[in-house]
Amino acid sequence: MIAELGHYALVLALALTLVQSIVPFWGARTGDQVLMASGTSSSIAGFLALCISFAALTYSYVISDFSLANVWQNSHSDKPMLYKVTGVWGNHEGSMLLWVLILTLFSAMLAAFATNLPSRLKADVLAVQGWVTLAFLLFILFTSNPFERLPQIPAEGKDLNPILQDIGLAIHPPLLYVGYVGFSLTFSFAVAAMISGRIDGAWARYVRPWALVAWVFLTAGIAMGSYWAYYELGWGGWWFWDPVENASFMPWLMGTALIHSALVMEKRDALKIWTILLALLTFSLSLLGTFIVRSGVLTSVHSFASDPTRGIFILGILLIFIGGSLALFAMRANALQQGGLFQPISREGALVFNNLFLTVSCMTVILGTLYPLFLEAIDGSKISVGPPYFNLTFGPLMIPILLVMPLGPLMSWKRSDLLPVLQRLYFVAGASLFCIILALAFTHDGPVLASLAIGLGVWVMLGSVAELVQRSGFPKVNVQTAIARLKGLPRSTWGTAFAHFGVGLMVLGIVGATAFSDEKGISALKGDTIEIAGFTLTHAGSQREQGPNYVQDTLLVSVKRGGVEELKLTPAKRFYTGHGTATTEASIKTYWFSQLYVSVGDTDEEGRTVLRAWWKSQVLFVWLGPILMAFGGCLSLTDRRLRVGAPKTSKAKRALANA
Amino acid sequence: MTRKQKRFVGIGVIGSVIGLAVLLVSIALRDEIVFFYDPSEVVTGQKVAPGQNFRIGGLVKDGSVLKEDTKISFVVTDGSNSVPISFEGILPDLFREGQGVIAEGALNTEGRFIAQNILAKHDENYIPKELEGVLKEKNIYKGEDNQ
């Protein structure tokens, strides 16, 4: 009964979306305010209908209603409650429902909160959102209906893939989807602007907060996904340049370019056509990513059940939206007003530099990800493009961005001079050089490139602080004044500093985790030891434990440093009885920002267990960096400048009153 | 600078960045991609020279897995031809006799494949994409019907 309600709500959402797609759009063409305003109510209603639908599916999972094919295939009555709930989106049908739910969430948020938007623009944006929603609702209803019933009710479910039975599933996909799908709004804004043919700085001011929200969530989502893969897969790797990872990374690169170029458009009314194109491309890459993940056309280390027929449907959606929007862009781009000009050495110039390298590096990622498909289509040879390709192409293209990153915020708009900017960075440059020398001195016959990369990371980190220091006036003014000035700085300045600092921190993490880490493995009997990074790990026996829906063989590993036992690590091999699958549970101990990571393999007939240990130097920076980036984005969001129509500050009011 | 000069410089910078990227991509696509072959292509064809990196995929032959310390050797087969493989390290959770597997590495001079990496998915129904076509052609694997 509840499932039928969910199914009904899904169809209802389709009908409401149809109204949302047509009526406001028609209103905007005929200038009818009532029709335009209807977009607000129909998109909020569509969102509520999908909430009901999603709640119904969740309920079916919670009560383990195995009469639903979807629940039967992906759940088990013994499964802990957390995984019953998160299991809702741990499969194709449920995750698509979450996808559309978030899509309509963004439409509804725009409808409810963007009250200061010109009514015509708002109507158009909601209509375009409606078109996207419509396509994906049809996709769900025709190819992946989660509410399909089974003719006979099975007694027990097939259980969720054990690798997904983890807290990571509760966090990573929702964050990622909010990011991914959030860029649909920038897409809709861009299409709406092209339809009306009017774009100006105000357009960028409307779009930037939404782009930032999406970017913040995407950043956090990718970082969490990376950490999840790191501890769950048991290989100690945190990024594999795998198609499924690239699927989320490509929109991130474009989205990063977008939030920077929208800044230029907002402040200087320049780069308008380019910003529109970026807005289109970012969401196009989100769609491409959805296609890659859901169709399974590319081999991935991450497991997703895939189905080619569904892939064709998404490919159709992809072609319509990407092709349609780019065709519209081609027709309209010339008619759009050209923006203002600026000198190459200026804040705008630096942001263009950033955009150039971000988009070009994104292109290399797209090429590397899709190249196997092309080649197989052309001459049938099967290839894989792995980390070496990306290290060789993407890596070098990131270096100029990192080098220029500290300069950008120190430059003034319109026209700037390089020399004074560089003078302000003398100290930062000196400190970075000092770090390089220090790193070279302390790593005997160590990798020279790694030491240089450390210098680069320090350069970016200190460089991002440099702007704050400079704007505080320190050391020319006393400390109190400096602090008062820092407090008075716009939030967006702080946001930039945090985000850029995060990038530098991540560079340090990547260098540490790749160049200064260690890995050792043995086939161990009880009493055998591994020496790694000053630790002595000893196989101290094993024990069998019973979990709610699995049994696990836990290996006790005693960790000694300097002869003193510090703790016992407990890596395990788990066997999920319902699903009939084994997983590896790594055991990790964190020391400051570095981690000792221990994982087990199979045990043979003689009782030898494969034991593998990694020392991951500064690895936590890899994820702390993105978290700081996301935090910086949040700070920027709270800047008053972004709140269009926000009441003027009391200071400005006083200035007005005095005048 | 005049407007014309500025535009010229701008196009020059953009062009050189794209040129650099194209150069990097073409080098990387020449040197860093890894081809996939099935055992028949490796045994009968003259496609691979010893030391050349590639991926091989097939089914792990029943009764062929030998473990000694962390060293593992097994035979991968596509039904008509087989290639012996050596590997040192932790095997994926789903590595099993009779299951599909993909190994990445190179042949040594004796025709033994020295794997750097073993890939097997975390889903027992999973057959690597490249493998599916090969095994279907040879009628070993009929495809999975999940519904």
CATH of the domain at B110: 2.40.50.140
| B19 in the same domain as B83 | no
| B72 in the same domain as B49 | yes
- B91 at A interface, C-beta within 8 A: yes
Q: Do A583 and B93 touch (CB under 8 A)?
A: yes
Per-residue pLDDT tens digits for B59-97: 888 888 888 777 889 999 888 889 999 998 777 767 778
pLDDT at A472 over 90: no
- A564 at B interface, C-beta within 8 A: no
Q: Do A303 and B123 touch (CB under 8 A)?
A: yes
Comparison of pLDDT for A40 and B118, the residue scoring more: A40
- B18 at A interface, C-beta within 8 A: yes
ipTM of the complex: 0.82
How confident is the model over A402-408, as a mean pLDDT?
A: 94
pLDDT of residue A578: 78
pLDDT at B146 over 60: no
| B62 in the same domain as B43 | yes
| B55 in the same domain as B5 | no
pLDDT at B144 over 50: no
pLDDT at A491 over 70: yes
Number of domains chain B is built from = 2
- A608 at B interface, C-beta within 8 A: yes
| B27 in the same domain as B39 | no
Q: Which of A561, A505, A534 is nearest to A615 (CA)?
A: A534
Quote the DSSP letter at residue A332: H
In chain A, the percentage of residues whose pLDDT exceeds 70 is 94
- B144 at A interface, C-beta within 8 A: no
Per-residue pLDDT tens digits for A246-298: 999 999 999 999 999 999 998 888 888 899 999 999 999 999 998 888 877 77
pLDDT at A14 over 90: yes
| Residue of A73, A384, A584 for testing the chain B interface, max B β-carbons within 10 Å | A384
How confident is the model over A412-426, as a mean pLDDT?
A: 88
Per-residue pLDDT tens digits for A347-389: 999 999 999 999 999 999 999 999 988 888 888 788 888 888 9
pLDDT of residue A309: 74
| B78 in the same domain as B121 | yes
Per-position DSSP letters for A36-87, written without gaps between them: HHHHHHHHHHHHHHHHHHHHHHHHHHHTT-TTBHHHHHH--TTS-HHHHHHG
CA torsion sign for A460, A463, A468, A471 is: negative
| Residue of A379, A382, A397 for testing the chain B interface, max B β-carbons within 10 Å | A382
Per-residue pLDDT tens digits for A498-511: 999 999 999 999 99
At a CB cut-off of 8 Å and minimum separation 6, what does B112 contact? B83, B84, B85, B86
| B29 in the same domain as B41 | no
Task: Give the number of A-B residue pairs with CB atoms closer than 8 Å.
Answer: 121
Write out residues 48-87 of B within 8 Å (CB-CB) of A: 55, 67, 69-70
Residue B24: which domain range? Answer: 1-33
Torsion angle (degrees, nearest 10) of CA A207, A209, A213, A214: 10
- B8 at A interface, C-beta within 8 A: no
Comparison of pLDDT for A233 and A109, the residue scoring more: A109
- A581 at B interface, C-beta within 8 A: yes
CA distance A578 to A127: 45
| B28 in the same domain as B41 | no
Q: Do B32 and A371 touch (CB under 8 A)?
A: no
At a CB cut-off of 8 Å and minimum separation 6, what does A267 contact? A201, A413
pLDDT at B133 over 70: no
Q: Do B123 and A305 touch (CB under 8 A)?
A: yes
Per-residue pLDDT tens digits for A302-318: 655 556 678 888 889 99
Q: Do A305 and B17 touch (CB under 8 A)?
A: no
| B117 in the same domain as B94 | yes
pLDDT at B42 over 90: no
- A388 at B interface, C-beta within 8 A: yes
Q: Residue A81 in contact with residue A62, Cβ under 8 Å?
A: yes
| B131 in the same domain as B72 | yes
Lowest average pLDDT, out of A586-595, A621-630, B125-134, goes to B125-134
**pLDDT band at B137, cuts 50/70/90?**
low
pLDDT at A109 over 60: yes
pLDDT at A154 over 80: yes
pLDDT of residue A645: 47
| B71 in the same domain as B41 | yes
**pLDDT band at B122, cuts 50/70/90?**
very low
- A378 at B interface, C-beta within 8 A: no
B94, closest residue in chain A (CA to CA): A582
| B135 in the same domain as B68 | yes
A326: Cα within 13 Å, side-chain hemisphere: 12
pLDDT of residue A339: 66
**pLDDT band at A393, cuts 50/70/90?**
very high
Lowest average pLDDT, out of A42-46, A291-295, A568-572, goes to A291-295
pLDDT at A653 over 60: no
pLDDT at A652 over 60: no
CA distance A405 to A418: 13
pLDDT at A174 over 90: yes
